[in-house]
Structure 1
Amino acid sequence: MAHDLIIRGGAIADGTGNKTFSGDIAIKGNTIVEVGSVSGTAAREINADGALVTPGWVDIHTHYDAQATWDTALAPSSWHGVTTAVMGNCGVGFAPAAPDKHDWLIGLMEGVEDIPGAAMTEGLTWGWESFPEYLEALDRHAYAIDIAAQVPHGAVRGYVMGERGAKNEEASDADIARMAQIVEEGVRAGAVGFSTSRTFLHKATDGEYVPGTFAKEDELFGIGHALKRAGHGVFQMTSNHKDMDKEFGWMERMARDLGVTVTFNLVQTDEAPDLWKKMLGMLDRTNAENLPVYAQVAGRPAGILMGWECTVHPFIAFPSWAELAALSPADRRTRVADPQFRTRMINETPADMTGFGLFVTRSFEKMFVLEAGDGSAPDYEPAPEQSVAAIAHAQGVKPEQIIYDAMCANGGEGLLYFPLFNYTAGAMDPIHTMLQHPRTNIGLGDGGAHCGAICDASIPTFMLTHWVKGRTRGDRLPLEFIVKRQTRDTALLYGFSDRGLIKPGLKADLNIIDLDTLAIPAPHMAHDLPANGRRLVQEAHGYTATLKSGVVTFQNGEDTGARPGGLVRGPQHTAA
């Protein structure tokens, strides 16, 4: 046969941003060899008539660093058409790892990314100390998708400085030199970048901020020089969201003086609701100079989900919660269904809370019921009049009554939605603007992380269901633009020039999508991590097939068991 596979008659959005066209795609091995009207034959053909065909999604912000050691499917991202994922973000990960620091690294990841510590303790298959050895361990697995790793600041600092590093003491010149050496070694071995966290939201389980949170510029630039010497590598930074403008100066200088690509997280916060506009203005300046500084932006509000089994919910400070917390999920659902218990709990006075906990659990005007309970798709852009506060006022009842009943829906698995970022005015208009800036990239889905509070790994699918075809409270965005933004644009940020386009000579990573039926149901809690660990998951409907390197990995939502993916080491280039 001339080809291994031909996809016939699809509407091709090829990742360039150009207008969708009808055509065929021929694949030989793991490579696209022909696009257009293909007259040859193949061992297998897929009829894509009436379907949309896109490159596979390239997700640049995930946290599968632990999961990749025990799970080759890497769901839920793989369920949503992701064919390449970059992990090791936010300064947390598992290498380098001194033998006596395994529990500390797990506590760091658990505290920052809300991944159950017991699951990581049971599931992690330690067999490395250095970062190159960690890459070797990953390289021994085959996956449903490709993965790429970054060297995490927290692990490096703890490895070099011990307790001084863990407690964010200032690094000496010798410390910085050793950290830079480790980062350079990791990047030369195949890491695609380095990551750090400078946000006050990120703490280990022991209450300490992520190592590197307060690192001085000499430490940051010491590592920047390591990336320069290695010849590649993105410097990823999770910023303190209300002070992003104060960080921009050193990022700009790193890009200008060292030529290092820098990417930082950009969101709208209620504390500084217009700062994102100022940051886009700063990006306009660096864009004019063609400096490689980019913001990662989310495709929807960073939504904290709250339910009886979630990490946080509005009743967590109520006296009766102590009775519920010790129960199994099934017994808890039975208990909350008791009308007498309901009456008692909603009339209790919660313990005093301050700061972030008080804001999330008592800001009823920012709290919404995620779904109607009838199986319909969740509404991620609800209007202010749909808030718990508004509903309670309209019904003349306490907000706790609305909350309690919503969490008891669906057999006790109902969820509330609290859009933490990007929703100050109760609409996604800031996201609409941020997505269109030439120096932003779609990210922040956090696949593999925030298992009990956030389920945003579905954002690649949401970009189509909401921004292309479903938004009703504002302007939408063109299909071709959205496809380009999460394929070619995200691929090129990390130097993956061999993917992200439907073009001869490039990797055959593809999605075949029934756009009419594409949908995401509400998230739900699953207990499928090691040690029966819990995580929020969210499926997708409407992916006819996902192909990784020319092999069908998912068909009509079902895992085929094929594992053609693997570790991506450094930038991937093609002559095409």
Structure 2
Amino acid sequence: MLELDLVITGGTYFDGTGAPGVVTNVGVRDGRVVVVSPAPLAIGAATKVVEAAGQWVMPGFVDTHTHYDAELQVAPGLNESVRHGVTTVLVGNCSLSTVYSTPLDIADLFSRVEALPRPHVLAALEGAKTWSTPQGWVDALEQLPLGPHVASFLGHSDARAAVMGIGRSTDPDQKATKGEQAEIERRLEEALDAGFLGISTMTNPWDKLDGDRYRSRSLPSTYSSWKEFRGLSRVLRRRGRVLQGVPNLNKKYDIGFYLATATGLFRKPLKVSLLAAADTKAEPWVQGIFAPLAFIANRLGRGRFTWQHLPTTFRVWADGIDLVVFEEFGSGREALHLREEMGRNELLNDEAYRRWFRRDFDKRFSPRVWHRDFDDAEITESPDTQLIGMMIGQVARDRDLHPVDCYLDLVVEHGTKLRWKTNIANTRPEIQDKLINRAGITIGFSDAGAHLRNMAFYNFGIRLLNRVHQAQSKDKPFMTVEKAVFKLTGELGEFYGIDAGRIAVGDRADIVVVDPAGLSDAVDDYHEALMPEFGNMSRMVNRNDAAVAATIVTGEVVFERGVFADGYGRTLGTGRFLRAGEGRGTVAPVRRLGLEVAQ
């Protein structure tokens, strides 16, 4: 027998199918799992050994909702995901991709919506974009020293802006002509031919453009007619691909379109993945509708509909007024429209503006995502250190002010040096436990690579495993470990039609080794780290190196006990572009020093 490249010894092995774990040894050669056996495996002179006794060996996590599109070009290792066991990421979400549009248009499409530093997004694309087609994007991607594997949607806003021009595509008085709609569909076909998963769309109007040309217009996809959306669905249905969508988070009526287009009555069903199944503090009753709606679409309508769900508390941080939730009402959008602090302060001090903000804030029955409760708004950083740890609502009572006036005073006084946090959703453990177990609800919405100062859910998989492990330790289980692994891996690979999420014999060896002894409440702790690729900005990150013993991509141990492999993401590339529907166990050569090394 040929010598094994890697042996993982004595761990509890979960294959990603939902089967119970078994204590066994795993052998890897040429990037694939070649043996799974309770018997000891031969260790050769060059065999790498990962000791996994008492630990869980499972497929690498699949992160289905990221916005790494620009970061890939400057930091292709995607370290912040891989260090938490993610071996496959999906990009091109929320109608945004970097395929067809110019670097300037891409920077305007991405930066404000995803809270990314526009100058660095623009620089990343101007320095790298040599492509103008989906296949060109794939070819360029595969020249990078990728860490994890990458699959992609085509962004509808990207394609629409490229066909119509970003100005016309964001003008409410302009609709795509018959010829333009045909060209958008042709470009979708071109992307599907290159192996893209499908298309991502957006109907939420409070996601806005950045830049100076069309600042504060909504994304191009939001201006599409239902006829245009139906045309895209027909292409996807015929090709057996996926529609990813974000509904109008204020009115929510267009959820009906996504449910209906997924159904398979008298036709082929369409896979639809929609944001987001969450137990929001603003509308706690809404969590009860997700499972019934999925049941109607899938069981009664014979469809393939899923909600995306983040399996942890959705907590966000803000610097001053820089937080996407303010986009959901007019006065908040007006403040975010102004980029310069001096201009903002003049606005925030204006009494007429304050009255407007108070009216928006006090509307009791308006649809919302943010609860607008300053008693759940804790100050974490401030030049006035006496404020740290206080709720803004309490500061308002101490100062005998309306909460809005108190908040705006603090922003005017301290600007972005006033940092505060609030809980948006998933704060009730018993509801979380029910949601994650519902049919039609899959794991997603980490938003990895976006909102760099606002939130960090790179370790969503570890957080779910921690919840599962702690519940079992207290004899109050809500989910088995094997089901949690399935939901983080195999279920997602199967739904999106990619070769990921399983590690039986013959599968590509994308593996994470999790040490349950390292699972604790510390996985939720707050951390920051500098991001050299984006001008040394300090981004929010996660750190749970005691929980992730090893991350393995294509049979290479790229991260082990807090340390990345030499050259990882720079001269060592282990990932590849995952094409929709390609065969099981596809392996590309690992790249070292820019050279392909045959395996």
TM-score normalised by L of structure 1? 0.81
The aligned counterpart of 2:367 is: none
Moved more, 238-247 or 305-314: 305-314
The aligned counterpart of 2:121 is: 120
Letter in 1 for 2:577: L
Distance, in Å, in 2 between the alignment partners of 1:526 and 1:9 is: 37
- The question of 1:140 aligning with 2:146 is answered no
Letter in 2 for 1:20: G
The aligned counterpart of 1:212 is: 221
The aligned counterpart of 1:571 is: 581
Distance, in Å, in 1 between the alignment partners of 2:398 and 2:23 is: 52
Q: 1:234 deviation in Å?
A: 1.0
Unaligned runs of 5+ in 2: 327-331, 343-349, 363-369, 382-388, 587-599
Q: 1:394 deviation in Å?
A: 11
Q: Alignment partner for residue 305 of structure 1, among 317, 340, 345?
A: 317
For residues 115 and 393 of structure 1, do their structure 2 counterparts lie closer, same or farther at Cα, with a shift above 3 Å needed?
closer
Say whether the 8 Å CA contact 1:119–1:532 is kept in structure 2. Answer: no
Q: Alignment partner for residue 273 of structure 2, among 230, 240, 263?
A: 263
Q: How many residues align?
A: 522
Letter in 2 for 1:77: S
Letter in 1 for 2:73: T
Q: Alignment partner for residue 278 of structure 1, among 283, 289, 295?
A: 289
Letter in 2 for 1:224: S
The aligned counterpart of 2:55 is: 51
Distance, in Å, in 1 between the alignment partners of 2:359 and 2:423 is: 14
Distance, in Å, in 2 between the alignment partners of 1:478 and 1:394 is: 46
For residues 403 and 478 of structure 1, do their structure 2 counterparts lie closer, same or farther at Cα, with a shift above 3 Å needed?
farther
1:330-374 Cα distance to aligned partner (Å, 9 max, x none): xxxxxxxxxxxxxxxxxx999726389958696222224679xxx
Distance, in Å, in 2 between the alignment partners of 1:395 and 1:482 is: 46
For residues 312 and 154 of structure 1, do their structure 2 counterparts lie closer, same or farther at Cα, with a shift above 3 Å needed?
closer
SS at match of 1:501: coil
SS at match of 1:294: strand
For residues 419 and 228 of structure 1, do their structure 2 counterparts lie closer, same or farther at Cα, with a shift above 3 Å needed?
same
For residues 103 and 78 of structure 1, do their structure 2 counterparts lie closer, same or farther at Cα, with a shift above 3 Å needed?
same
The aligned counterpart of 1:241 is: 249
Moved more, 354-363 or 286-295: 354-363
Say whether the 8 Å CA contact 1:238–1:265 is kept in structure 2. Answer: yes
Matches within 5 A, 1:324-363: 352=354, 354=357, 363=373
Say whether the 8 Å CA contact 1:35–1:502 is kept in structure 2. Answer: no
Q: Alignment partner for residue 481 of structure 1, among 476, 480, 483?
A: 483
SS at match of 2:549: strand
For residues 413 and 537 of structure 1, do their structure 2 counterparts lie closer, same or farther at Cα, with a shift above 3 Å needed?
farther
Say whether the 8 Å CA contact 1:64–1:87 is kept in structure 2. Answer: yes
Q: Alignment partner for residue 68 of structure 2, among 64, 69, 80?
A: 64
Letter in 2 for 1:105: I
- The question of 1:551 aligning with 2:560 is answered no
The aligned counterpart of 2:303 is: 291
Cα RMSD of the aligned pairs, angstroms, is: 3.7
The aligned counterpart of 1:495 is: 497
- The question of 1:157 aligning with 2:166 is answered no
1:281-319 Cα distance to aligned partner (Å, 9 max, x none): 1211223244111111111233221357965899x99x9
Distance, in Å, in 2 between the alignment partners of 1:118 and 1:261 is: 36
Distance, in Å, in 1 between the alignment partners of 2:122 and 2:145 is: 22
1:513-561 Cα distance to aligned partner (Å, 9 max, x none): 2211134331325342333444322222221110001110101122112
Say whether the 8 Å CA contact 2:27–2:35 is kept in structure 1. Answer: yes
The aligned counterpart of 1:130 is: 133
Letter in 2 for 1:13: F
Q: 1:210 deviation in Å?
A: 0.9
Letter in 2 for 1:276: Q
For residues 15 and 350 of structure 1, do their structure 2 counterparts lie closer, same or farther at Cα, with a shift above 3 Å needed?
farther
TM-score normalised by L of structure 2? 0.78
Letter in 1 for 2:248: N
Matches within 5 A, 1:148-227: 148-162=151-165, 163-168=167-172, 169-205=174-210, 206-227=215-236
Say whether the 8 Å CA contact 1:366–1:418 is kept in structure 2. Answer: yes
Say whether the 8 Å CA contact 2:549–2:560 is kept in structure 1. Answer: yes
Say whether the 8 Å CA contact 2:233–2:261 is kept in structure 1. Answer: no
The aligned counterpart of 1:367 is: 377
Distance, in Å, in 2 between the alignment partners of 1:275 and 1:536 is: 29
Distance, in Å, in 2 between the alignment partners of 1:514 and 1:575 is: 26
* Identity rate, percent: 21
Say whether the 8 Å CA contact 1:307–1:313 is kept in structure 2. Answer: no
Say whether the 8 Å CA contact 2:9–2:51 is kept in structure 1. Answer: yes
Say whether the 8 Å CA contact 2:171–2:223 is kept in structure 1. Answer: no
Q: 1:276 deviation in Å?
A: 3.3
SS at match of 1:197: coil
Distance, in Å, in 2 between the alignment partners of 1:370 and 1:133 is: 45
Letter in 2 for 1:285: I
